[in-house]
Every structure is written in C-alpha cells, then in structure tokens.
Amino acid sequence: MALIRDVPEAFAEAECDALIALAEAAGLAPATVYGQQGANVDERIRAAETGYHERSDATGWIYDRLDRLLKEAGLAFGIEAAPVAEPFQIVRYPLGGHFRNWHSDAGNDAKATRRLSASVELSPPDAHEGGYLEVVPDTVGRARTLPRGGARVFPSSALHRVTPVTRGLRYALVVWTGGRHV
C-alpha cells in the first residue's frame, strides 16, 4: 500500500489565492516545534511562518472541503477520518525555510487525534525551488509533483519533512484529523 494519496485538484487557483490572502491578513508568526519543553521556536529544526485558522463562518467552506478530502483518503487507506477538529494552518516557507527534521504528526500525545495529515500546495510550482514535502518512503528525494491546489494526504504516523527552499517562496495549507471525536 502506498503511504500517500495525491489529489491534484483539491483547490482551484483562485481558492489558493484566497487562502494566501487569508493567512496574510490574519498574520503569520514563527513556526514552533514540540519537544520536552513544549512548543518553542527553533529555526535549526523548522524555519517557517504559520497562522492557525479555526472553523468559522468565514472558513466553513475550507473545512467542508478538507473534511471531504480527508474522508475520501481515509476510505482509501482504511483509516477512519472524522471531521477536522484542530485549526488548519497556512505555512509560509521563505528562502531557506524548511522543516529539516524527519517527524510524525502523531506523536504519543496525538495518536488518537491525528490519524491522517494533508498538505495542500498553495503556491504555483514555478514560485519556488526546494521546499519539497518528502514522505518516507514514497517521495524521498523527489521534487514537487503536485500542481497548485493539489493535496497530498498520508497517515499522520508517516515520517516526513520539508526540504529547504532554495529559491522563491512556498505556501502550504496543513491539516490533520483523527477518528471519532470524544
């Protein structure tokens, strides 16, 4: 079984523009990593800026799309996927931006709440070089293959990282979901 499911047309180009505008209007802050001391900024591990967006009237259409996307991928993987409960994030990777360490989105504290992860490419492919999402073992060492608006869904337990951006600017929408909500 492949560890990824690509959905090339998850969002239209105009929707990608709207998502980037949403992130820029709300503001972005240095991205955190989680360790023994909780959440902190460590640009040696993750150099990016991010903003979190709750489910609301303004973001309802985004959550509806993400809920369907994750449910369909869950059926393909045989993984139960409840509606998204955590805020999605929009991440901006500037020149040099990365998430260098291999990591899982479903650490010991999130195994039940994060079963599926998704990353949506919001930037056009020619807007950046590097900044590639690598998921072990399916896409390691491969350049971006998804068009703008394409989503890559994978089990949250899969190791993955984002390579350093060597030219331009990359935006991505990142989200997770689990099984039934308690």
- pLDDT over 70 (residue 36): no
Q: Look at residue 46 and tell me if it is in a domain.
A: no
142 lies in which domain range? Answer: 5-27+57-177
Is residue 47 domain-resident? Answer: no
Residue 48 forms part of a structural domain: no
Would you give the distance in Å from CA 134 to the centre of its chain? 12
pLDDT tens digits for range 109-125 = 665 679 999 999 999 99
Q: Does the residue 45 lie in any domain? A: no
Mean pLDDT of 48-71: 97
Residues 164-171 have a mean pLDDT of: 98
144 in a structural domain: yes
Q: Residue 128: give its domain's CATH number.
A: 2.60.120.620
Mind listing the pLDDT tens digit for each residue in 123-157?
999 999 999 999 998 889 888 889 999 999 999 99
Task: Decide if 160 is inside a domain.
Answer: yes
48: left (phi over 0), alpha (psi -120 to 50) or beta: beta
Nearest CA to 87 out of 135, 26, 37 is that of 26
Q: Is the pLDDT of residue 182 over 50?
A: no
Residues 62-102: tens digit of each pLDDT: 999 999 999 999 999 999 899 999 999 999 999 999 999 99
Question: Is 56 a residue whose pLDDT tops 80?
Answer: yes
Q: Which of 74, 62, 66 is nearest to 5 (CA)?
A: 74
What lies within 8 Å, CB to CB, of 170 at 6+ separation is 92, 93, 97, 123, 127, 128, 131
Tokens 């990824």 belong to residue: 4
Is residue 87 assigned to a domain? Answer: yes
Give the separation between CA 173 and CA 118, rounded to whole angstroms.
8
- How many Cβ atoms from other residues are within 10 Å of residue 99's Cβ? 23
pTM of the prediction? 0.93
Per the structure, the count of domains in the chain is: 1
pLDDT class of 42 with cuts at 50, 70, 90: confident
